[in-house]
Structure 1
Amino acid sequence: MSLARGAPATSLAARLRASLAHVRQRTRPYEQLARIDKPAGTYLLYLPCTWSILMAASSTAIPASPVLTAKMLALFGTGAFIMRGAGCTINDLWDRDFDRQVERTKDRPLASGAVSVPQAVAFLAVQCSAGLAVLTQLNWTSIGLGASSLAFVVSYPLMKRITYYPQLVLGLTFNWGALLGFTAMTNTLPLDQALPLYGGGIAWTLVYDTLYAHQDKRDDIQVGVKSTALAFADRTKPILTGLALTSGGLFAMSGAAAGLGVPYAMGVTAATANMLYLTWTANLDDPASCGRAFRLSSWGGVFLGMGLSIEYARRLSEEQTKRQQEPPAVPVAATERAGDGEPDAVPNPRTP
């Protein structure tokens, strides 16, 4: 009897597992197309957003509320996840013929045929629609600024064909959030803070993506793909050292303009040290070593974000202390009589 009762349940569970496996098999290529299984790029896109949000929250006369700051961090995190995936889809649509000839990328869904071009275009439409839904949660200034970044998103894959510096265009694209966070928080763009922060992010991107490009330099030469790895060649480490120091200097300029203190300075120092360490410890002729350096590069951005987070927490604490120390409101000595608008007489303490 128990076996008879258990059989339908077992059959149902088996059918459910089979259905889930089928769905997983169908969605897996799209997960790979959006690089969901490789989140490093999402972190690198999101981190500049956190910098500008936290800097804007910290540098106003009264620190931004934690609720607003958390809301913006969540919105930008969602947007970074979606738009990084959309950027990968665009990249693979442009590069599918190149990817088939490169060992590291030949199994990507478009290159291998697991996803067709029409299917990828339809998937891209869904991604962009989702990204637009996030963008429209911001103010109009931010919507316009965010939409203007699409030119860089679409053109970046083409740059590999026409210039040895596509990493510069990637830097312009991936660090757009360093501008957008300011407008989202304050509806203004303080150029003395935003531009050095943006420039520091671009230099940071040139460091980590040049290390990334060294993975494929042999295949890139054969298929005609250009990169800073090929442009810098044997001079890569000295040039990246200069870029790391430039990045740190620009980050420091931005913090000085915002009036930030020691916690932020420590974050800048740690971020710069991370770039220098990865540059000089990476074996540029070993793809595995270059890939490891790229994946660890996000820690530089995390260190900068930690400095800003501590700075923001300090500003909030100072503001709370200031409010607690403010004297209580002075009571009104006289009140108006109801109906005639004249003040009541104030009792004379000497009168018996």
Structure 2
Amino acid sequence: MQRPAAPSLPDAVRGHWADRLAPAGLRPYLRLARIERPIGWWLLLLPCWWSAALAAIHAGQPWPDPLHCLLFLIGAVAMRGAGCTYNDIVDRDLDTRVERTRQRPIPSGQVTVKAALAFLALQGLVGLLVLLQFNGFAVATGFASLGVVALYPFMKRFFWMPQIVLGFAFAWGALMGWAAAFGSLDGTAVLLYLGSISWVVGYDTIYALQDIEDDEIAGIKSSARFFGERVKLGVGICYGLTLAFMGAAFVLAGAGPASFAGLGLFALHLGWQVARIDRSDGAGALRLFRSNRDAGLVLFAAMTLDGLL
């Protein structure tokens, strides 16, 4: 007998259409792809858009390529879903030991491993079709990310900073926008990538504060546990590196005042996050984590305005 659908997970958007309107049989798969938690694909997408906008500035174009931005959007949703599905397949035993994750579709029995593998293949196919719309260099760059993505779920078992490996994967879009525009990479794209990695490590450390007690019991390693009582300092260092690397990328790209003004607003927001971190407030950590979408969109808007000006 099929088990009843689980309620929305603690960090899901309340009242999301995936939980209200989707057919009951489809809902576990939408949860497997984290559709009801859109913050993930937003955070995967934003470095792509930043990179496309910075490439437009460097090339003297008035705005980032609209088709590229649309393709990045579709690809981010598909590949974030594929990554989460793969992660849940690998982590299905660990997920049963953590309060926030034990109701995920695989450990709760709503989706079998075989069905999850088929769903993973379907999402990967969508991502491949999107990737093939770009130039050959961008296609090769996209394929190069798969090794990092495959490695990440295993890192939390023995590496105290698995968020660094997550950063390598989630920040990859900072290379993709540049590669799609120019068919090559240079120091500007690498600096933007390094800044995006630092940003990912910072915000995912905040996210990991939600699970710090369960992670300790289950033996799961994370940057939140590694930093311990000095988590504010750790996140602050990550965000400081973010701003330094991004500022250097802006200089090399020839960005104008609007981009730097946006970076200033971005810096204020990151500083606000650090000031509000409370290791004992899981709900507050989730709110801070989610706020990175809006901060990233403000930065993208400023970079787009820079191109127009």
TM-score > 0.5, shorter chain as reference: yes
2:271 aligned residue: 276
Question: SS of the counterpart of 2:133?
Answer: coil
Separation in structure 2 between the aligned mates of residue 23 and residue 265 of structure 1, nearest angstrom: 42
1:219 aligned residue: 214
Matches within 5 A, 1:1-352: 24-60=23-59, 62-63=60-61, 69-191=65-187, 193-314=188-309
Q: Aligned-pair RMSD on alpha carbons?
A: 1.5
Q: Radius of gyration: which is bigger?
A: 1
The alpha-carbon deviation at position 46 of structure 1 amounts to: 0.1
Question: SS of the counterpart of 1:106?
Answer: coil
2:10 aligned residue: none
Would the aligned equivalents of 1:47 and 1:302 in 2 still touch at CA under 8 Å?
yes
Instruction: Please tell me the residue identity of whatever aligns with 1:218.
Output: E
Instruction: Please tell me the residue identity of whatever aligns with 2:121.
Output: A
Deviations 1:48-76 (A, max 9, x none): 0001101111111x426x5x700000001
For residues 169 and 22 of structure 1, do their structure 2 counterparts lie closer, same or farther at Cα, with a shift above 3 Å needed? closer
Separation in structure 2 between the aligned mates of residue 91 and residue 188 of structure 1, nearest angstrom: 30
Aligned length: 290
The alpha-carbon deviation at position 282 of structure 1 amounts to: 2.5
Deviations 1:240-285 (A, max 9, x none): 1122122111111000001111111111111122112112112221
The alpha-carbon deviation at position 22 of structure 1 amounts to: 11
Separation in structure 2 between the aligned mates of residue 40 and residue 85 of structure 1, nearest angstrom: 12
TM-score by length of 1: 0.80
Separation in structure 1 between the aligned mates of residue 72 and residue 58 of structure 2, nearest angstrom: 19
TM-score by length of 2: 0.91
Would the aligned equivalents of 1:204 and 1:275 in 2 still touch at CA under 8 Å?
no
Deviations 1:63-99 (A, max 9, x none): 26x5x70000000110001000001001101111111
Deviations 1:78-123 (A, max 9, x none): 0001000001001101111111111111110001010000000000
Would the aligned equivalents of 1:32 and 1:109 in 2 still touch at CA under 8 Å?
yes
Higher relative contact order (CA 8 A, sep 6+): 2
Instruction: Please tell me the residue identity of whatever aligns with 2:23.
Output: R
Separation in structure 1 between the aligned mates of residue 238 and residue 173 of structure 2, nearest angstrom: 20
Instruction: Please tell me the residue identity of whatever aligns with 1:216.
Output: D
Sequence identity of aligned pairs in percent? 39
Would the aligned equivalents of 2:232 and 2:277 in 1 still touch at CA under 8 Å?
no
Deviations 1:283-307 (A, max 9, x none): 2211111111111122222122122
Which 5+ residue runs of structure 1 have no aligned equivalent?
1-20, 315-352
Instruction: Please tell me the residue identity of whatever aligns with 1:88.
Output: C
Instruction: Please tell me the residue identity of whatever aligns with 1:225.
Output: I
Instruction: Please tell me the residue identity of whatever aligns with 1:265.
Output: F
After the TM superposition, which parts of structure 1 deviate over 2 Å for at least 4 consecutive aligned residues? Answer: none
